Amino acid sequence: MATEKFEALVHFLIHECREHPSRLGAVRLNKALWYTDVSSYQMTGMPVSGETYVKRKMGPVPAHILITLRKLQNDGKIHIQEPEFQYDVRKFVSLSNPDEDALSRDEREIAKGILEAVCGCTANEISEISHDVIWAAAAEGETIPLYATLASEQGEVSDDVRAWAGTVVSRLELEAA
């Protein structure tokens, strides 16, 4: 089940785009949530929302996003406007102010910075950016742990790394025997 903090972050991001809801859309919202949690995790060791993310075709997606959006709409906090045309975006319209106490000032600042970057890309561009080695290593629908993002770039395997790995394998073989 989604946390109250995740719900607050979703509402906050939607509210930040209240003047131009077409800037957000479902893909950008999912990526803003992902990168907000990833950035916070990499900076502080803790994500903002505590949400679980899964691999989907367009990149990492919060596991509870649909339930959360429906709850926010049922609670009268947002309105979801379905696309009118084939390539139109789903629009999320904030109907009330988000709970300012649910997110710290630092968490809101991280989210605002991420939102600005995400909304500066097309949905396809931000999806492509999210298709990194961590996303590629996961199976469709598999959970992508935030700690995996700490090693999200492939490095060159040096002779020192090979020697270390050989030592670890040898030690494990001895322990198993």
Residue 148 has pLDDT above 70, yes or no: yes
Q: Into how many domains does the chain fold?
A: 1
What is the SS3 assignment for 92? strand
Tabulate helix, strand, coil % of the chain (nearest 5): 55, 10, 35
pLDDT: is 170 or 37 the higher one? 37
Query: Taking 90 as the threshold, does the pLDDT of residue 156 lie above it?
Result: no
Confidence grade of residue 75 (pLDDT, cut at 50, 70, 90): very high
Domain residues for the domain of 51 are 4-176
Residue written as token pair 């030592």? 167
Token pair, residue 133, equals: 């080695």
- pTM of the predicted protein model: 0.83
Those residues whose C-beta lies under 8 Å from the C-beta of residue 147, and which sit 6 or more positions away, are 41
Between CA 61 and CA 80 the distance in angstroms is: 18
* pLDDT of 176 strictly over 70: no
Q: 109 to each of 9, 36, 66, how far by Cα in Å?
A: 12, 10, 25
CA 146 from centre of chain: 9
Determine contact, residues 33/49, Cβ cutoff 8 Å: yes
The residue that leads in pLDDT, 165 or 16, is 16
Maximum mean pLDDT: which of 60-69, 114-123, 141-150, 151-160 = 60-69
